[in-house]
């Protein structure tokens, strides 16, 4: 990866829907050369896809919470992670080292729905305890940090 690839990736980070011609101008390439580079980055698996960001509040998803989940026995227990991915409200699951075993990001309609979800998660055999933190506001949300060559 060179500086041009990094510049392309950074432009796509900011706006995944950028027109190829505009992208080419920003990274000082011809449109065909820019497209070839983007396609090369896709084939290499560096670009995994393009996403659309939605406004949860406008869709009736009023709460975002972070849940620290502790397991009764963590070593070698992948089954709990496999169960957690089945909950559509759980939008991120991080297997972490530290005070907890999993860090979950949950986006859900309201407190009653959250209570029910936490109950269902707590019923998974092997789940020990949890600590929930309500997100009051998000000051920064990036999918990936800037790319350096």
Question: What CATH number has the domain bearing residue 70?
Answer: 3.30.70.920
> Is the same domain home to 61 and 121?
yes
Same-domain pairing of 70 and 128: yes
**Mean pLDDT of the region 67-77:** 82
| pLDDT value, residue 73 | 80
What percent of the chain is modeled with pLDDT above 90? 86
Q: What per-residue confidence (pLDDT) applies to 76?
A: 60
- Encoding tokens for residue 60? 């009736």
Note whether 31 and 66 are same-domain residues. no
**Residue 101 shares a structural domain with residue 70:** yes
Q: How many structural domains are present in the chain? A: 2
Q: 149 or 64: which carries more pLDDT confidence? A: 64
Q: What is the pTM of this model?
A: 0.85
The pLDDT-based confidence of 135 (bands split at 50, 70, 90) is very high
Query: How many angstroms separate the Cα of 122 from the Cα of each of 9, 40, 80, 115, 117?
Result: 40, 44, 11, 10, 8
**Structural domain boundaries enclosing 9:** 3-43
pLDDT at 75: 62
């Amino acid at each position: 990866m060179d500086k041009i690839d990094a510049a392309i990736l950074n432009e796509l980070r900011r706006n995944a829907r950028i027109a190829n011609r505009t992208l080419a101008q920003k990274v000082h390439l011809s449109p065909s050369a820019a497209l070839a580079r983007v396609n090369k980055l896709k084939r290499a698996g560096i670009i995994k896809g393009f996403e659309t960001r939605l406004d949860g509040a406008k869709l009736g998803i009023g709460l975002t919470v972070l849940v620290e989940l502790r397991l009764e026995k963590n070593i070698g227990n992948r089954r709990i992670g496999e169960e957690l991915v089945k909950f559509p409200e759980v939008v991120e699951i991080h297997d972490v080292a530290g005070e907890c075993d999993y860090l979950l990001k949950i986006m859900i309609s309201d407190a009653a729905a959250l209570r029910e979800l936490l109950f269902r998660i707590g019923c998974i055999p092997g789940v020990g305890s949890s600590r929930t933190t309500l997100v009051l506001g998000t000051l920064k949300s990036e999918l990936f940090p800037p790319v350096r060559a």
